[in-house]
Amino acid sequence: MRKIYIFDTTLRDGEQSPGVNLNMQEKVEIALQLEKLAVDRIEAGFPAASPGDLAGVNAVARAVKNATIVGLSRSREQDIDAAREALKDAQDPCLHLFLATSPIHRKHKLRMEKHQVLETAEAAIRYAKKYFDKIEFSPEDAGRTELDFLCEVTEMAIRAGATVVNIPDTVGYMTPSEFGNIFKTLKENVKGIERIQLSAHCHDDLGMATANALAAILNGADQIEGTINGIGERAGNTALEEVALALETRADFFQAKTSLKLSEIARTSRLVSKLTGMVVPGNKAIVGANAFAHESGIHQDGVLKEKTTYEIISPETIGLKESKLVLGKHSGRHAFREKLVDLGYELSEEQVNLAFAKFKDLADKKKNVSDEDIRAMIEEKLVETPEVFALETIHVSYGNRSVPNAAVRIRTNDRGTVEEKAEGNGSIDAIYKAIDQATKEEVELEDYSIKSVTQGKDALGEVHVVLRQGDYSAQGRGVSTDILEASARAYVDALNRLIEKRKSPARSKRDNVTLI
């Protein structure tokens, strides 16, 4: 298949997002992750913009060994010299020159005629060619440039020594058919076009950046420029992860693919989001929190039977472990039953029906129903737990200058009454250690919470704990005016529930699907 080169400009165009300001260390951290992602070219910044940007580009150039490092430059000798300094330590440096070519930019920004644009750009490319083997030239706002003039500019850039000519849809104005036609026209009409690579740089002002980039590929583009998570000026750039997965998933249609290590996409997305402070929307394609989540009962039923019914991309492809079936008011009986199995419950059909009705009532009141909600609902009403252990007495000794210790008396089914003592780093820790010794059960305390049931100094305190033992977990509840006693009762209650689950082990029929 035809290889599509990936030019990542997260550190340059992405950093131009309002409110984003990466320091040198953060730039290097992102660049090294982009290297793991196997990006072909990394645009590290605009060296002439500030001394800090120059230093940042130089730091990236020194750190990255397996990607071309690119520095942006206006068509000015002083900018080119700044880029030379920034890229002097790069193993594979490239200069990215640009000059606007559209009528609106020529008239209002540059105040140049066409011949002046050509002369200025050519002089800059020839000057840069003295110092750089790789030069990319971008006619800024190419999308709104006259096609015949764009062909003329591209031919000039090839003669002057450019190795890549980039066609930017600078303001996100193009439609896919229009943008694709630009590449088709250049391929058919520009002399020497076979000697260079054509690149596409799209913005998302009308929400068509990815579509435009893919249209460019279909019409001969060799390289796509964009950012991780689609960040960038205004509405952002082409999201590189979207292009990569479109080519991977629809290889039959595009007959082209990138060399990206796709399993690094999720990790790269999280890093960029964290360091830029730009939160990825939940509904963002590929990397959004909901990209592999299903709440609709119809969808959940399909995914549980065969993933490809509603998932065209495997979450493992981008480095995620599993899909998510979100339990909410739209969820169906199939997903709910699988959640019960996942939590370790084996219920009769009658109990499942009763539990599902209660779940639907709860889901009407809460957007997402948590595991703890379901545990409480099941264990409070539907499952009667045999009492293997019973707390008879508890004694706690504690002072701010002494080590807390606890003594418990536990009635057991098989050993009669057992008494044990233990020390801990707190009163509750000491109690739980003493109970562990008395019951001889090894468990992990996953969650502990306290709330007041009534008001006043003599209020009842309610303690909830979640214990895990291997693949099983159970919730326990204890109520008392003494919070230490309530804690002990909740722990023993959870132990009894764990033992009951062990007697009737439930096996999950799911394969790589997490329900939340």
Domains of the chain: 2-276 (3.20.20.70), 293-381 (no CATH), 389-503 (3.30.160.270)
- pLDDT for residue 312 is more than 60: yes
Range scoring the smallest mean pLDDT among 337-351, 452-466, 481-495: 452-466
d(CA 432, CA 422): 9
Please tell me the predicted confidence (pLDDT) of residue 509: 36
Q: What does the pLDDT average to over 229-246? A: 96
Please tell me the predicted confidence (pLDDT) of residue 361: 74
For residue 12, what are the contacts with CB-CB under 8 A and spacing of at least 6? Answer: 43, 44, 45, 46, 72
How remote is the C-alpha of 189 from its chain's centroid? Answer: 42
Better-scored residue on pLDDT, 352 or 171? 171
For residue 182, what are the contacts with CB-CB under 8 A and spacing of at least 6? Answer: 142, 143, 147, 150, 167, 174, 216, 219
Asked whether the beta carbons of 243 and 214 are under 8 A apart, the reply is yes
- pLDDT for residue 324 is more than 60: no
DSSP one-letter string for 181-223: HHHHHHHHH-TTGGGSEEEEEEB-TTS-HHHHHHHHHHTT--E
Question: Is residue 473 very low, low, confident or very high in pLDDT (cuts 50, 70, 90)?
Answer: confident
Please tell me the predicted confidence (pLDDT) of residue 487: 93
- What's the angle, vertex CA 397, arms to CA 392 and CA 403, rounded to 5? 130
Q: What does the pLDDT average to over 115-123? A: 98
Please tell me the predicted confidence (pLDDT) of residue 148: 97
Take residue 70 and report the two structure tokens written for it.
């690119």
Better-scored residue on pLDDT, 141 or 316? 141
- pLDDT for residue 355 is more than 90: no
What value does the mean pLDDT of the chain take? 87
Please tell me the predicted confidence (pLDDT) of residue 287: 86
d(CA 227, CA 138): 17
Asked whether the beta carbons of 150 and 186 are under 8 A apart, the reply is yes
**pLDDT tens for each residue of 253-264:** 999 999 999 999
Please tell me the predicted confidence (pLDDT) of residue 422: 94
Please tell me the predicted confidence (pLDDT) of residue 516: 39
- pLDDT for residue 510 is more than 50: no
Take residue 513 and report the two structure tokens written for it.
């699907």
Go through the chain and tell me how many residues it has. 516
Please tell me the predicted confidence (pLDDT) of residue 317: 84
Asked whether the beta carbons of 56 and 87 are under 8 A apart, the reply is no
**pLDDT tens for each residue of 124-170:** 999 999 999 999 999 999 999 999 999 999 999 999 999 999 999 99
Range scoring the smallest mean pLDDT among 62-66, 87-91, 281-285, 334-338: 334-338
Please tell me the predicted confidence (pLDDT) of residue 368: 64
- pLDDT for residue 328 is more than 90: no
d(CA 94, CA 44): 11
Neighbours of 414 (CB within 10 A): 5
Please tell me the predicted confidence (pLDDT) of residue 322: 61
For residue 342, what are the contacts with CB-CB under 8 A and spacing of at least 6? Answer: 508, 510, 515
**pLDDT tens for each residue of 148-159:** 999 999 999 999
d(CA 300, CA 282): 18
Please tell me the predicted confidence (pLDDT) of residue 401: 84
Please tell me the predicted confidence (pLDDT) of residue 511: 40
**pLDDT tens for each residue of 374-400:** 766 665 555 556 789 999 999 999 888
Better-scored residue on pLDDT, 369 or 30? 30
Q: What does the pLDDT average to over 315-322? A: 76
- Taking CA atoms, 452 is separated from 84, 375, 455, 460, in Å, by 67, 20, 7, 6
Q: What does the pLDDT average to over 71-99? A: 97
**φ, ψ dihedrals at 102, nearest 5°:** -75, 155
**pLDDT tens for each residue of 250-301:** 999 999 999 999 999 999 999 999 899 898 887 888 888 776 655 455 555 5
Please tell me the predicted confidence (pLDDT) of residue 359: 75
User: What is the percent of the chain with per-residue pLDDT over 90, rounded to a whole number?
Assistant: 63
